[in-house]
Structure 1
Amino acid sequence: MTAPIALDLGVSQGNFAWVLGTYSLAFAATLLFAGRLSDLYPPSKVYTIGFFGMGVLYLIISFMENQYAFFVLRAVSALLAVLTIPSSINMIVQMYPEPTEQAKKLTLFGMAGALANTLGLLLAGVFLLASWRWYFRFIAIVVLPFSVLCWYIMPTTEAVASDLPGTEKWKRMDLAGVLGLMAILVLFILAFTQVEHDGWNSAIFIAPLVISVSLLPAWLYWEHRLPRGFSLLPHDIWSYPNIFPLIIQASSIFMWFATYQLRLATYWQEVDHVSSILAAARLLPMGVVALLVGVLTQPFPALILRPRYIQPVGSALAFCGSMLLAFSNGGRGADYWKYVFTGEIIGTAGGMIVFIGTNTNIIQSFPLEFAGVGGSFAQVIYQIGGVVGIAVQQGLLGTGEGISDWTGSKNGYFFTSAYILFTGIVFVLWYRQSKMPVREGGPAPVA
């Protein structure tokens, strides 16, 4: 919906990226803070407040006529929407302490997100037949009644820090660390979101990237000097079981899904002049496969409980799916069924296995007292991987001869294919199931 929104609000071509960027920047930059809130306060309340606020903001956004008001409200809506992710994970971890059952429920949660990602494209195409504003109104119509019901019917879950006084909780929020991390992530993501329009040699790419990388050591030093339980990230996070191969593989999966969908949908609409709803319908098999894989994990928990060999297989399937796309030449006519449709089936099956496995294992690698932060940390890795992947893909488009030449798109898919296969190899070499913690029931210690 980027182009219709930009056209309606008078956004210039150079600022198209901000239609999406204002939301993604605010969302990614505050994920860890939202996770900390979910550990310090009852996650059911954190979730409900964020859910309700998102519905209200979406309704207001649907009436905006000024582009700057739209950008600001999109960012604020992200600050509310981000509260729903770590709080959801925190509640699941608390309500299902048994590892196998917990893994199944985390899988359903991840499946819902992957399915919504694909169905969102289809819904957007449908609502564009009327106006992009009705998409936001539809979300508000769905969200607001359910958010009110959540306040009353959602199972009550206590914060792991429920015994701490209010002033102590404020100290443990690490607001200085939050602001520092926000600055790093905002600058990092800003740099890569500007590559498409300004190029790799532009100041708007180089300056934010250099500053963000330079700030990172100072932020890590600040976090390390704080007492345990007062820092945004746990001090010993790098000693958590299998955290290295999990981070490496997690960085590939949003990259794979985002580049797969975005480039295809854009190419079909800009080059083949396909309607937005038909472009979304062509991607619908990805949503169907995501649902099926998620459902299959329930009767076959080995898909998530034996990740060392299952997840590299998932990486190989995703590699095959995007390589088919690389040679599809845009998927015209019979080539859609031969290359794109087949690639969607094979690739999405593998991608979902990787996503579900990394999401579940990263969360379970964190101690229970950091359940919210663990879920947020996984999402930060996903977001960074997606942003970098899209930027690299857009940069490689210049290797072709114009918008209609598939060469640049093919090179972009070569990159994502190679990267997700590389992460699968790293995973099978470094991941060890025996290192994963075995949790017992009972309350979590305060951190």
Structure 2
Amino acid sequence: MTTHAPTTRASKAAAPTAPAPTAPAPTRSRALALAVLCAGMLMIVLDGSIVTVALPAIQQDLGFTPAGLTWTVNAYLIAFAGLLLLAGRLGDLVGRRKVFVSGLVLFTAASLLCALATGPELLIAARFLQGVGGALASSVSLGMLVTLFPEPGERGRAIGAFSFVGAAGASIGQVLGGVLTEALDWHWIFLINLPLGLTAALLALRVLAPDRGPGLRAGADAPGAVLITAALMLGIHTVVGTAEHGWTSARTLGPGALALVLLAGFLVRQALTATPLLPLRMFRSRAVSTANAVQVLVIAGMFGFQVLVALYLQNVRGYGAAATGLAMLPAAVAIGAVSLLLSARLSARFGERAVLLAGLGTLVAALGLLTRLPADAGYVVDLLPTMLLVGGGGLVLSGLAALGMSGAGEADAGTASGLFNTTQQVGAALGVAVLSTLATSRGDALAAAGRPGAEALTGGFRLAFTVAAGLLALAFAVTALLPRPKK
């Protein structure tokens, strides 16, 4: 006589229903699918940086106040970072292709609204919608990639290409934003998304295989979704507001404490509910936990580096928007060469841990060079070596993506992808807020002490670069604690 054990709440959480398996796609089809995923990611990453160089023109044309202007960036970042985790889980439940295409369509439509904006309010609202669309599309991209390429060698090469797009897209966006703004006007930085977004969405419907999740009832944790979305949005809003209110003001400490309470409530909810939005069993993987923790440190240091170097070139050395983007371009080229040509081969031979440590060591050296940056720096002597050494980021980003997705199965690849993207955005927000605050306060102190303007500004940047190098050194130490892979 066969008996069936009763299904418990714990067993449901431990063994989620996987989406219907699909047959492996031919190599050519998978290459086209990878190209579509990379194109969607490129458009979203480009938009994150292309706007920054056009901010002065937008302010002058639409009449933004200095404080209001920052919301053209913050509105996008809050929506994007706040919804990544929820969007990734939705992909697992209702189908990742459906969520990806919906995100591309919404992002493209919001880009048109941005271009047509005639006042600050409409532009900020449209940027928020762009963030929602970007979260939907990017949250499931990495999850679709790892299911498309199950073989380790192919997966490594695919992650290398995907990481290159993510890293190099920001630098390309700065160049493109400067050129479009100076040659045409700022509206074109949004209009360029229309053909890109529509083409990517139509191709996605043709080359990405449809997938069906178990449905919302299998994991639609509405209370958990409200808690984590509110916690992330409030937390990011608090961090980006420190530039205006300071780190110790009531307007920072109060919302920050509330965000932590909401996050704690979310974690308690995930431990108790039968259908968690973020299954806590994912954190049992030491590799996954370490990859997400290290990514916060790495992105905080490197995104802060990118913003501060651009400010140094413009405010101290007098570079224009397009010249600043071109000056940053060697870093993108170096990252691309390492990501596409070396990362997969080195990982296959030496393992992700060793490759990740080598890349982190290179980044520490790159930022270490900037701790002695002079006010009258020459580009070739003082900045180009750093730009080339930043190519080590190609090893770091690919290695982190591989580790971060290593514990993801078919049932929760979207959730793991959303979590990985969320820690990336949290690191970016923290890095810019902390390093910019340090640079500003140190520069003001030096100026008050009688140092010339350029030297005072450079002194502030040097302190920020020192802290950024320290964050990367800490990431190196945390990664070194990972156990060596078995031979």
User: TM over 0.5, yes or no?
Assistant: yes
TM-fit CA distance, 1:109: 1.2
Q: Which residue of 2 aligns with 1:207?
A: 254
Shift of 1:118: 1.2
Secondary structure, counterpart of 1:132 in structure 2: coil
Give the structure 1 partner of residue 405 of structure 2: 363
1:283 aligns to what? 328
Q: 1:190 aligns with which of 237, 242, 246?
A: 237
SS at match of 1:368: coil
* Cα distance per residue 1:76-104 (max 9 Å; x no partner): 11111212223322222222222332232
Contact 2:353 2:399 in 1 (8 A): no
Q: Which amino acid aligns with 1:419?
A: L
Call closer, same or farther: CA 1:60–1:328 in 2, change over 3 Å. Answer: same
Kindly indicate whether residue 271 of structure 2 is the aligned counterpart of residue 224 of structure 1. Answer: yes
Residue 367 of structure 2 contacts residue 468 of structure 2 at CA under 8 Å; is this kept in 1?
A: yes
C-alpha separation in 1, matches of 2:395 and 2:282: 24
Counterpart of 1:92 in structure 2 is: 145
1:131 corresponds in structure 2 to: 185
Q: Deviations over 1:42-86 (max 9, x none)?
A: 322221221122112101210101211111111111111212223
Cα distance in 1 for residues equivalent to 2:344 and 2:231: 42
Distance in 1 (alpha carbons) for counterparts of 2:483 and 2:434: 28
Give the aligned length: 423
Give the stretch that moved more between structures: 279-288 or 309-318: 309-318
Normalised by the length of structure 2, the TM-score is: 0.82
Map Cα deviations across residues 185-222 of structure 1 (whole Å, 9 max, x no partner): 11211111112222222222211111111222211111
Other-structure match for 1:181:
228
2-structure distance, mates of 1:14, 1:322 = 30
Q: Is the 8 A contact 2:78 2:233 kept in 1?
A: yes
Task: Answer yes or no: is 1:110 the counterpart of 2:163.
Answer: yes
Q: Indicate the residue corresponding to 2:430 in structure 1.
A: 388
After TM superposition, give the deviation of residue 432 of structure 1 in Å.
Answer: 4.1
User: Does 89-98 or 110-119 show the bigger shift?
Assistant: 89-98
Distance 1:252 1:103 in 2: 23
Are 2:467 and 1:415 aligned?
Answer: yes
Q: Which consecutive residues of structure 1, in runs of 5 or more, have no partner in the other structure?
A: 436-447
> Compared with structure 1, are the counterparts of its residues 260 and 289 closer, same or farther at alpha carbon in structure 2 (3 Å cutoff)?
same
> Post-superposition shift, 1:28?
0.5
Could you tell me the percent identity over the aligned residues?
A: 22
SS in 2 for 1:61: helix
Report the residue type matching 1:414 in the other structure: T
Secondary structure at the aligned position of 2:280 is classed as coil
- Greater mean alpha carbon deviation, residues 123-132 or residues 393-402: 393-402
> Is residue 412 of structure 2 the alignment partner of residue 337 of structure 1?
no
Q: Provide the residue aligned with 2:442 in structure 1.
A: 399
Task: Select which of 84, 87, 90 maps to 1:37.
Answer: 90
Q: Which residue type is aligned with residue 172 of structure 1?
A: G
SS in 1 for 2:109: helix
Separation of aligned partners in 2, 1:194 and 1:15: 12
2 CA distance for matches of 1:201 and 1:119?
A: 36
Q: Is the Cα–Cα contact under 8 Å of residues 315 and 421 in structure 1 kept in the other structure? A: yes
Aligned-residue offset at 1:171: 5.5
Contact 1:303 1:353 in 2 (8 A): no
Distance 1:244 1:235, change over 3 A: closer
**Aligned match of 1:251:** 296
Deviation at 1:291, TM superposition (A): 1.1
Cα distance in structure 2, aligned partners of 1:210 and 1:299: 42
2:460, 2:75 → 1: CA distance?
27
1:275 deviation in Å?
A: 1.0
Cα gap change, 1:297 to 1:373, in 2 (>3 Å): farther
8 Å contact from structure 2 (residues 304, 436) kept in 1: no
Number of the residue aligned with 1:141 = 195
Change beyond 3 A, Cα 1:24–1:333: same
**Whole-angstrom distance in 2 between the partners of 1:244 and 1:430:** 11
For 2:199, give the aligned amino acid.
Answer: P
Output the CA distance in 2 between the equivalents of 1:181 and 1:226. 14
How far apart are 1:299 and its partner, in Å? 6.3
Q: 2:428 is matched by which residue type in structure 1? A: G
Assess if the C-alpha contact under 8 Å between 2:336 and 2:394 holds in 1: no
Give me the whole-angstrom Cα distance separating, in 2, the residues matched to 1:150 and 1:312: 35
TM-aligned CA distance change 1:71 to 1:170, over 3 Å: farther
Contact persistence 2:88–2:416 (CA under 8 A) = yes
The offset of 1:427, in angstroms, is 0.8
Question: 1:11-50 maps to which residues of 2 (within 5 A)?
Answer: 11-50=64-103
Q: 2:477 is matched with which residue: 420, 425, 429?
A: 425
Helix, strand or coil at the partner of 2:265: helix
Q: CA deviation at 1:131?
A: 1.4
Decide whether aligned partners of structure 1 residues 191 and 145 sit closer, same or farther in structure 2, where only a CA change above 3 A counts: same
Quote the RMSD (CA, aligned, Å): 2.0
Give the whole-Å Cα distance in 1 for the aligned partners of 2:287 and 2:362: 22
In structure 2, distance between residues paired with 1:308 and 1:360: 10
Q: Which AA in structure 2 matches 1:372?
A: G
Unaligned runs of 5+ in 2: 1-53, 448-452
Question: Distance in 2 between the 1:44 and 1:29 partners?
Answer: 21
Letter paired with 2:381: K
Alignment of 1:304-315 (within 5 A): 306-315=351-360
- Pair 305,223 (structure 1): closer, same or farther in 2 beyond 3 Å: farther
How many Å separate the matches in 2 of 1:114 and 1:309? 21
Q: 1:182 to 1:434 in 2, by over 3 A?
A: farther
The alpha-carbon deviation at position 148 of structure 1 amounts to 2.2
Number of the residue aligned with 1:270 = 315
The separation in 2 between residues aligned to 1:304 and 1:363, in whole angstroms, is 19
TM-score (norm 1): 0.89
Indicate the larger mover: 378-387 or 398-407.
398-407
Q: Of 397, 406, 418, which aligns to 1:376?
A: 418
Q: 1:304 to 1:88 in 2, by over 3 A?
A: farther
